Structure 1
Amino acid sequence: MQTLGAITLACAALVAGQNARAGEIEVLHWWTSGGEAKAAAALKLTLQKSGHRWKDFAVAGGGGDSAMTVLKSRVVSGNAPSAAQIKGPSLQEWAQEGVLANMDDVAQAEKWDELLPKVVSDIMKYKGHYVAAPVNVHRVNWLWVNPAALKKANAKAPTTWDEFFTTAEALKKAGIIPLAHGGQNWQDFTTFESVALGVGGAEFYKKALVQLDPATISGPTMTKVLETFKKVKGYTDKNAPGRDWNLATAMVIKGEAAMQLMGDWAKGEFIAAGKTPGTDFLCVPAPGTAKAYTFNVDSFAMFKLKDPANIAAQKELAKEIMAPAFQETFNLYKGSIPVRLGMKMDKFDDCAKTSAKDFVDTAKSGSLVPSIAHGMAVPSAVEGAIKDSVSQFWNDDKMSVADAQGKLAAAAKTR
């Protein structure tokens, strides 16, 4: 029979062993409000359940600019966090600096290559090796519609840009603002890329706005895109400059405006206002883009660590991010859809179910394309220059389409 002292020593050894295995993971993110904060808390709880410690490193600011400034100073000083919310080509830019960790062992064990569309998994890799774990998918090319406003104008939800202008004219005559818009360069470009996709199609979009092909940017299809884009502005209101996106969404919720071109984070505003998809509001693909999908994928880059316990915690975090339970919980909070293919969608609303189906279909057809407006397609310097050129055209009524096309071509050469 064991003595009490022996049992106590055995228990102490067991606890010590567990503590030795437990690591700490510091996670930099900017999910600090509403559903985003709930989503971040779900990730924290998931990691803690596996016995590791979570150190929250939240930096407020919806676009993440402040967080990236803080991250740069931490990395330069040799004190990088375990994981940071980074996405798109910025992942490759950080990897080139030699500061990101190789996650291939986790990815292979969990079969990430089979669970992700190739266009997404390629973004998570540097020179063929995983350096980040994807969390979710936001569809950007949505048109949000107030059906009651359309009914007042005896108009219908548009499926093409020609139909959009017909509907917009009817709304204008009924005294309703056709399109709610916020005057910030990323909002201008969210509209622009949906016009480009709807007018030119997925192959044009990829050549012009992902591959930055000079001939395509200077060609006749881009001329038509810019003409259509400028025509859209005529159906926004004069108070749009400087307006935040959620205030534009509120205009649609209240029926002051009938439509908004915005990613599916707008759905959270409708839901928070007690509105029901399909009844109080409609989510339809932006005109002309029903068979295409612009995506914005949030992801966590994993930085190189030295402590074995912290490395184990980091790998556990990467594993849990892609696990079905977390993918469901997180995305129900965030308003996005799981990035992991083959997930059950019975707990999700109709907008999310449509998004998930279209995500799979467009991945197969080759019309799943990265959003430039949301940092998924081109290096940050090029993205900034292109956004600025498009916003200049949007805001300057005297600028010709030819001048705008020239500015866009010059911006695409930024390196």
Structure 2
Amino acid sequence: MNIRAFAAALAATVVLPLGVAQAADLEVTHWWTSGGEAAAVAEFAKAFDATGNKWVDGAIAGGGSTARPIMISRITGGDPMGATQFNHGRQAQELVEAGLMRDLTDVAEKGNWKEVIKPASLLDSCTIDGRIYCVPVNIHSWQWLWLNNEAFEKAGVAVPKDWNEFVAAGPKLKEAGIHPLALGGQPWQANGLFDTLLLALGGKELHEKVYVEKDAEAAAGPEVAKIFEAAAQARELSIGTNVQDWNQATNMVITGKAAGQVMGDWAQGEFQIAGKVAGKDYSCLPGLGVSQYITTGGDAFYFPVLKDEEGSKAQDALAEVLVAPETQVAFNLKKGSLPIRGDVDLASANDCMKKGLEIVAQGNALTSTDQLLSPDSQSQKQDLMTEFFSSTSMTPEAAQERFAEIISSAD
């Protein structure tokens, strides 16, 4: 989509959506539709409604890959919502450059965001030409292995302490009629699983070479070859799960149909809403139990330009609410993510969240691939990983060759 090509023609026609009954009613679009996600987003809505405005929920099912094209189409088509979710990174960059997103710098300066939002890379992802265009709301990390403790007891093996022990337990799990690894069919899940393997098993230096430096030679080298071999093992462990959505895969782990899942820390919300207790019913291994590094991506809200003064004031109020300490605690405890503020009280955090907080405090948080690669490069990589994980006919060698080509031209 070439957003710049028609942005100028649409700029004069941007109005509030027809569904908004009052100026202070703000439609907010997002893709948080699972049980844990819905419970978390309700905290945002409650806090915003308390300002005298009204949160008009615009949830779009199917995840970000389904929701983002709809959101972008509405904004560029002259039917903007009041606020919309994107991931931290470059997903909304063209919309900002086309003048379709509000500059929030004044709100950010009033709230002292540069001082309270940590790590600084979160706000950096919202900043273009020195101006701030979005509100980070959480820190998510992909590098987690979620395990059903009872499933391993049933299979007669100890709960793994790392990825290698998990792979070794695969045969026993299969004998017990338990799927070793749950993996949904949404393309981004396979992509995230591969990136998790690369950082956890390959280490920080390899992650930086491939995704920061865009080193095609490293991407084609022996270290990445080992990652593709591990990905082939993961593919074998996930055969037969036959679910689509990520939360369906998580539910397989919660119910003991599967023993484990590699998924971001948002999976915590599903375990919590199911009444499961971290450290008792389930285990969580950041860095797959192999590495003490995680990437810090997450979600942010952008505010399309509205030609309505009351709507713009409501946008300001929502931006302030999203960053407020009490809102940050309420939302992130239910979402399973970490807050974007370092000055909030998380005494009630569970064992898994505390592990994530400790890693961030140690300075072992790296930039996510959503922030390092353009949407186009991510899409190419996602297509490759979907093909690789869905069919054993693609060899690790063939997949690595294509991967190196993608990295060689990545931006």
* TM-score band, normalised by shorter chain: 0.7 to 0.9
The amino acid of 2:367's aligned partner reads V
Measured in 1, the distance between the counterparts of 2:97 and 2:198 equals 31
The amino acid of 1:326's aligned partner reads T
2:255 aligned partner: 254
1:24 Cα offset (Å)? 4.7
2:173 aligned partner: 171
2:367 aligned partner: 369
1:158 Cα offset (Å)? 3.7
* SS, match of residue 137 in structure 1: coil
1:197 Cα offset (Å)? 0.9
Measured in 2, the distance between the counterparts of 1:295 and 1:289 equals 18
Q: Which of 141, 144, 147 does residue 142 from structure 1 map onto?
A: 144
1:3 aligned partner: none
1:377 Cα offset (Å)? 4.0
Indicate whether 1:97 and 2:102 are aligned: no
Query: Are the structure 2 counterparts of residues 286 and 170 from structure 1 closer, same or farther at C-alpha, using a change threshold of 3 Å?
Result: farther
Measured in 2, the distance between the counterparts of 1:132 and 1:302 equals 7
Instruction: Kindly provide the CA deviation profile for residues 367-415 of structure 1, in whole angstroms up to 9, marking residues without a partner as x.
Output: 4231x4xx45422221111011122222332333332111112233267
1:151 Cα offset (Å)? 2.9
Query: Are the structure 2 counterparts of residues 57 and 236 from structure 1 closer, same or farther at C-alpha, using a change threshold of 3 Å?
Result: closer
Measured in 2, the distance between the counterparts of 1:184 and 1:308 equals 40
2:3 aligned partner: none
How many matched pairs?
386
Instruction: Kindly provide the CA deviation profile for residues 108-163 of structure 1, in whole angstroms up to 9, marking residues without a partner as x.
Output: 22222222202212112112321000111222211111222223444334444433
* SS, match of residue 345 in structure 2: coil
* SS, match of residue 86 in structure 1: strand
1:228 Cα offset (Å)? 1.2
Measured in 1, the distance between the counterparts of 2:142 and 2:191 equals 11
Q: Which of 198, 201, 208 does residue 199 from structure 1 map onto?
A: 201
Query: Are the structure 2 counterparts of residues 295 and 407 from structure 1 closer, same or farther at C-alpha, using a change threshold of 3 Å?
Result: same
* SS, match of residue 108 in structure 1: helix
Measured in 2, the distance between the counterparts of 1:207 and 1:322 equals 33
Query: Are the structure 2 counterparts of residues 181 and 47 from structure 1 closer, same or farther at C-alpha, using a change threshold of 3 Å?
Result: closer
Instruction: Kindly provide the CA deviation profile for residues 237-265 of structure 1, in whole angstroms up to 9, marking residues without a partner as x.
Output: 3x234543333223322333222111223
1:289 Cα offset (Å)? 4.5
Measured in 1, the distance between the counterparts of 2:238 and 2:57 equals 39
1:109 aligned partner: 110
The amino acid of 1:368's aligned partner reads L
1:76 aligned partner: 76
1:224 Cα offset (Å)? 0.9
1:5 aligned partner: none
Q: Is the 8 A contact 1:292 1:369 kept in 2?
A: no
1:185 Cα offset (Å)? 2.1
Indicate whether 1:244 and 2:245 are aligned: yes
Q: Is the 8 A contact 2:216 2:405 kept in 1?
A: no
Query: Are the structure 2 counterparts of residues 264 and 212 from structure 1 closer, same or farther at C-alpha, using a change threshold of 3 Å?
Result: same
RMSD (Å) for aligned C-alpha atoms: 2.5
Q: Is the 8 A contact 1:107 1:130 kept in 2?
A: yes
Indicate whether 1:229 and 2:231 are aligned: yes
Computing the radius of gyration from Cα coordinates, the structure with the larger value is 1
2:134 aligned partner: 132
2:190 aligned partner: 188
Q: Is the 8 A contact 1:198 1:286 kept in 2?
A: yes
1:4 aligned partner: none
1:179 Cα offset (Å)? 1.8
* SS, match of residue 327 in structure 2: helix
- Runs of 5+ consecutive residues of structure 2 not aligned to the other structure: 1-22
TM-score, L = length of structure 1 = 0.84
2:399 aligned partner: 404
Percent sequence identity over matched residues? 35
Instruction: Kindly provide the CA deviation profile for residues 206-235 of structure 1, in whole angstroms up to 9, marking residues without a partner as x.
Output: 331354321221122111110111022222
**Please, which moves more after superposition, 272-281 or 333-342?**
333-342
Q: Is the 8 A contact 1:194 1:289 kept in 2?
A: no
Query: Are the structure 2 counterparts of residues 34 and 171 from structure 1 closer, same or farther at C-alpha, using a change threshold of 3 Å?
Result: closer
Query: Are the structure 2 counterparts of residues 286 and 179 from structure 1 closer, same or farther at C-alpha, using a change threshold of 3 Å?
Result: farther
The amino acid of 1:117's aligned partner reads P
Measured in 2, the distance between the counterparts of 1:44 and 1:175 equals 42
* SS, match of residue 260 in structure 2: strand
Measured in 2, the distance between the counterparts of 1:281 and 1:41 equals 25
The amino acid of 1:106's aligned partner reads V
Q: Which of 120, 123, 130 does residue 121 from structure 1 map onto?
A: 123
Query: Are the structure 2 counterparts of residues 104 and 275 from structure 1 closer, same or farther at C-alpha, using a change threshold of 3 Å?
Result: same
TM-score, L = length of structure 2 = 0.85
Measured in 1, the distance between the counterparts of 2:167 and 2:33 equals 38
Query: Are the structure 2 counterparts of residues 157 and 121 from structure 1 closer, same or farther at C-alpha, using a change threshold of 3 Å?
Result: farther
